[in-house]
Structure 1
Amino acid sequence: MHRHRGGNNELNLQNYGLTPELSSAAAAAKPLVLARVISVNRTLYRVVAEAGEFSASVTGRLTNIAMGPEDYPTVGDWVLLRLPANAADAGSIERLLPRRSVFARKAAGRTSATQLVAANIDTVFICMALDGNFNERRVERYLAVANASGAQPVVVLTKADLSADVASQEAIIAAIAGPEVAVLTVDATSAAGILPLIALIEAGRTYAFIGSSGVGKSTLINHLLGLDELATGAIRASDAHGRHTTTGRELLLLPSGGIVIDTPGMRELGIVDAAIDETFADITELAQSCRFNDCTHGSEPGCAVQVAIAAGTLDAARLTSYQRLQTEQAENIALRGKARELAKINRMFGSKKQMHQMMKEIKQRRR
């Protein structure tokens, strides 16, 4: 296994997914150096550069131009770093380079804030256990977010040894995922059981494992690493859920040369950006045959979607899921727009109250 090395040990960034475009960006930014974020702990980052591994923090300039959490680095990001004079000190992240993909969700709780899960991913493995945690609606939600991320989604069905009918569950998920998304079934209790996953890993490419707690993400990554590098929790027989496993996000190098990002299990995946029409292509295709262009697929006459449900070729629960995700995304887009507008006002004026006071003073001067 490749381990991250400390301060004075030189690293080959090609092992971390370096591309010619990134090399060009770094060459034009000297004396800043190129680095990749391998872990985040609140406002402290761990990064790797050619000179080695460093702690780092963002500069005030980057903080000042940030409109929200999505404007800060996350695991997998490429950044331009000012190296510290002493390797034991923290470097300064001065610029965040454009992302080619990002998996994001709405932060948990009653907020519109965005939480970045991982960036610059080539493939996102959506893990779903074939035990009591099996939930096809949850797969739809994860696929909608993954399809919008810019990464290629792959559904990984875990714990095949605990399923009473693997073939039936595979067929359900394959129908949901569609022909463009691969569906793998793995069994981590044997070496042969994870060969389909190993076959997909390519050197220099970045993979993120996403899924609910207890679906076996860390166990799979342990097998890929060849070691018990990540803590895994016991499974409660009563509900088939795992105890706490991964608590933070970390980028790791695999012996095969692949790059993997492990993420904590998610209790919920709130929608920030989702490719809903792409994920529910069967419904959007049916909708083109509806009598009315603005058909809500409810009680309108000539609704092709309702005809398909009546004929048994479309599951009514899938339509409900589609409509729920559409509503959730629209509501969150509106909330995020308001939040970013407020952030802009606060940056320019200090607060909304101060903005109104300034506008009032300007009007009085013009009289």
Structure 2
Amino acid sequence: MSLETLGWGPDFDLAMSASQSASQSSSASSLVPGRVVRQHRGLLTVQTADRAFLARAAGRLLHQAESAESLPTIGDWVLLQPPSSGDGEALMQVVLSRRSVLKRREAGSEHDGQLIAANVDVVFLVVGLDGNFNPRRIERALTLAWNSGATPVVILSKADLAEDAAARVLEVQALAPGVDVLAVSAKAGLGIEEVRSRLPAGKTGVLLGSSGVGKSTLANRLLDAARLVTQPVREEDDKGRHTTTHRELFVLDQGGLIIDGPGMRELGLWGEDEKVSLAQAFADVFTLAEGCRFNDCGHRNEPGCAVVAAVQAGTLPEERRANFEKLLREQSFSARQTDAAAQRAHKRAERAQTNAGWQRTRTKRRGE
């Protein structure tokens, strides 16, 4: 299998050359490029041009990593040292610069992020039309997708089970202007070619959605074979068992690539650049905010708030305004957690505020 088939491009050629030039190791030129195509509980499979290897991060890579987010994940391109024996583990020595990275706040944590996939071109946000449809969750997922550097596409799955699929498409198009919205039924074959057309040769997509929305069924259809084991959804609550317990990258017949993984109930924002992605996911709110009287308007009850005025006029749903406010607060918290400099600045600001309060108290007491 050629590296180009796996999504290799000129930018990775440059990244590999730069890494080899910067390395002080005499063995750098003997490292082999490959892509992480399977991830299961920390065990990675890397596909090179010649064969696939079970691989683990070398000690040097672990030592130099600034955080867990610097370590290899599904979709990464790495330089590895093949094992001395054919059945041994390869050592990943270098993670090449990423084109994009999709990540979220780790479920159940406020201080750690989790990588979902790297080097993806398209993030397919899969939402079921059989009870899973939630505009607020779509807004959140769009924010994550924009932050990755990839292009989001919303897939409304199980369209054959919905009487109002066309209306749902219009609803999502209204809250996500410029984003492609596809009504798809993997079982009936509806919209499959539209999905395939967004993954030409060498382009990588990732399926993102909660459990039971039909991601694995869609992946199977794209692959034209039941390569992934699908499991039924509990009809009473539309929740599926976790069909996919690992993340895996597949090459499609037309040359594109698709990554499937476990369903995700939590999509917490994570990353210092989320405000940029919020501006894309909530472009209408940001445009309205330019008309607010105050630059630091919180868009709640401040005088002269153009956002609140739009809600009162009925041109902006209150639910969308409230979700924007919620995600904006979450983004600020995320930035403080992920950016050490921001954390230090936040602590300095807190100390300065506290010291200023003490100073005012002392001054007041002296004056009494």
TM-score, scaled to structure 2: 0.86
Alignment of 1:276 onto 2:275? no
Residue identity opposite 1:333 in structure 2: A
Residues 76-98 of structure 1, C-alpha deviation per residue, up to 9 Å, x if partnerless? 00011111121211111111110
Structure 1 residue 13: deviation in Å?
1.2
Partner-residue secondary structure (3-state), 1:295: coil
Q: Quick one: structure 1 residues 167 and 293, their matched pair in 2 at CA, closer, same or farther if it must change by over 3 Å?
A: same
Report 1:275-314 matches (<5 A): 275-314=277-316
Partner of 2:348 in structure 1?
none
Partner of 2:147 in structure 1?
148
CA distance in 2, matches of 1:41, 1:339: 33
CA distance in 1, matches of 2:168, 2:97: 38
Partner of 1:324 in structure 2?
326
Alignment of 1:12 onto 2:2? yes
CA distance in 2, matches of 1:299, 1:131: 37
Residue identity opposite 1:256 in structure 2: Q
CA distance in 1, matches of 2:225, 2:264: 24
Residue identity opposite 2:6 in structure 1: Y
Q: Quick one: structure 1 residues 156 and 80, their matched pair in 2 at CA, closer, same or farther if it must change by over 3 Å?
A: same
CA distance in 2, matches of 1:130, 1:183: 13
Q: How many percent identity over aligned positions? A: 44
Structure 1 residue 336: deviation in Å?
3.2
Q: Is the 8 A contact 1:132 1:240 kept in 2?
A: yes
Partner of 1:197 in structure 2?
195
Partner of 1:241 in structure 2?
239
Partner-residue secondary structure (3-state), 1:292: coil
CA distance in 2, matches of 1:192, 1:118: 27
TM-score, scaled to structure 1: 0.86
Partner-residue secondary structure (3-state), 2:143: helix
Gaps in structure 2 of 5+ consecutive residues: 21-27, 345-368
Partner of 1:161 in structure 2?
160
Q: Quick one: structure 1 residues 336 and 199, their matched pair in 2 at CA, closer, same or farther if it must change by over 3 Å?
A: closer
Structure 1 residue 340: deviation in Å?
11
Partner of 1:335 in structure 2?
337
Partner of 2:222 in structure 1?
224
CA distance in 2, matches of 1:340, 1:53: 41
- The Cα RMSD (Å) is 1.8
Alignment equivalent of 1:258, drawn from 240, 253, 256: 256
Partner-residue secondary structure (3-state), 2:239: coil
Residue identity opposite 2:13 in structure 1: S
CA distance in 2, matches of 1:191, 1:108: 33
Partner of 2:351 in structure 1?
none
Partner of 1:134 in structure 2?
133
Which shifted more, 277-286 or 293-302?
293-302
Report 1:40-55 matches (<5 A): 40-55=39-54
CA distance in 1, matches of 2:190, 2:340: 51
Q: Quick one: structure 1 residues 20 and 193, their matched pair in 2 at CA, closer, same or farther if it must change by over 3 Å?
A: closer
CA distance in 1, matches of 2:220, 2:16: 33
